[in-house]
Amino acid sequence: MSTTPTLTVLAVADAGPRSQLAPFLSHEGRLAERGVSVRLHTYAEVRKGVRGLRGPVGVVLFFPHQFWDARIEDRVAGAYGTRAYADALSAYLLSSDRLLRRTVPQGVHYLNPPTAVARTRDKALARRVLEQAGVPVPPAVENPTPRELSTALKSGRSLYVKAVCGSMGKGITHLTPERWRTNYAYRDGRLESPGNASGEQWIFRDVDPGDEGFLAALCAESGFVFEHEVGLSVAGAKTELRVTVASGVVIDIEERRAPAGSVTTRSVELGRTVVEGPMSRSATAGPTALSAARALGLRYAVFDMVTDDVGRSYVLDAQAFPASGTKGDFWRKILGVLVPPLLPRPAAEGHPTGLRAT
């Protein structure tokens, strides 16, 4: 039997049709039985003022696609995903938070606060926070010169160069002593968005090793992270882990592999999920991911990680925005993080709702 709503879950998303959020919305009826209503609004609507919200409000922020496409991607200064991108996205999230709070006098309770989301979206800032908290991240080369990069490569080291606000594998360069690859277009000494993307995934292309102009282009941009390559190959394949956590609990550890020599484990490089279960050396991945979530102030997060040959796990990247296609059973646990603290606790019961994180 439905009850008068005592809580509103507000999903802020620019994902288009409701069907794209079907796994999330599949819990709408179950929530209504517990007095929880669900509202879906775009960022534009939230910024104009959302009316009719009563009682406590729990907010789930999805990625602001419309703002990114219309105002950021290929429209701000610098190469894709670099410093100006991170700053513009952070400013938009924080201003959206201020505008939302004006129309919700009762206060809002976020799955992940906008400040934490913005911090996580900036790879340079996120790795500093993690490093200071003692969470393993790949060693970095700070503000290198082209000569310093060249020296590191000649010494046998390999480097990943990542745009601080890149996503979906975009804005990555991989440098080894023998081979240089990037998924930017490199033309006339400049880094540009490519024209031959595969869907939304960028394809890697070779750059002549020893091209000092290319190293200079990387060093000239504000907003690249230069990290030493770490990780473990399994049966000759590039191997990464994707670890999902919520409210101090590891929800899932997924192992992904790609052919030897791949830069990432994305599908465009024939990456695949290993169905036989997590690799034997992943024992440290879950605890490391939980420590990373605490350090970044995230109640829900997905971490891309690698494990070295002595079993130590490193955080490569973090996602604080839930994907619109996040599985329905994951949403049950995510909502279990967001909902219970906001519901009144009946005096005769130990728990206010069946939506508990497990």
Both 208 and 77 in one domain: the answer is no
Domain end (from 184, 205, 228): 228
Q: Is 288 exposed, middle or buried (0-12, 13-18, 19+ CB in 10 A)?
A: buried
Q: Is residue 191 part of a domain?
A: yes
Both 14 and 79 in one domain: the answer is yes
Task: Name the pLDDT band for 132 (thresholds 50, 70, 90).
Answer: very high
Q: Is residue 47 part of a domain?
A: yes
The parent domain of residue 308 ranges over 121-137+231-319
Both 64 and 41 in one domain: the answer is yes
CA-based end-to-end distance of the chain: 25
Q: Is residue 353 part of a domain?
A: no
Q: Is residue 116 part of a domain?
A: no
Q: Is residue 152 part of a domain?
A: yes
Which residues are bridge partners to 163 per DSSP? Answer: 224
Q: Is residue 350 part of a domain?
A: no
274: domain CATH number is 3.30.470.20
Both 43 and 185 in one domain: the answer is no
Both 167 and 45 in one domain: the answer is no
Both 235 and 224 in one domain: the answer is no
36: domain CATH number is 3.40.50
| 261: pLDDT strictly greater than 50 | yes
Q: How many CB atoms lie within 10 A of CB 70?
A: 11
With contact defined as beta carbons under 8 Å apart, do 204 and 175 qualify?
Answer: no
Q: Is residue 358 part of a domain?
A: no
Q: How many domains does the chain fold into?
A: 3
Both 102 and 14 in one domain: the answer is yes
Both 268 and 154 in one domain: the answer is no
Both 167 and 214 in one domain: the answer is yes
Per-residue confidence (pLDDT) for residue 305, from 0 to 100 = 95
Which residues are bridge partners to 245 per DSSP? Answer: 250, 301
Per-residue confidence (pLDDT) for residue 4, from 0 to 100 = 54
Which tens digits make up the pLDDT trace of 111-131?
A: 999 999 999 999 999 999 999
Lowest mean pLDDT among 64-73, 79-88, 242-251, 347-356: 347-356
Q: Given the structure tokens 């399994």, which residue do they identify?
A: 234
Both 132 and 167 in one domain: the answer is no
Q: Is residue 194 part of a domain?
A: yes
Both 130 and 277 in one domain: the answer is yes
Both 158 and 82 in one domain: the answer is no
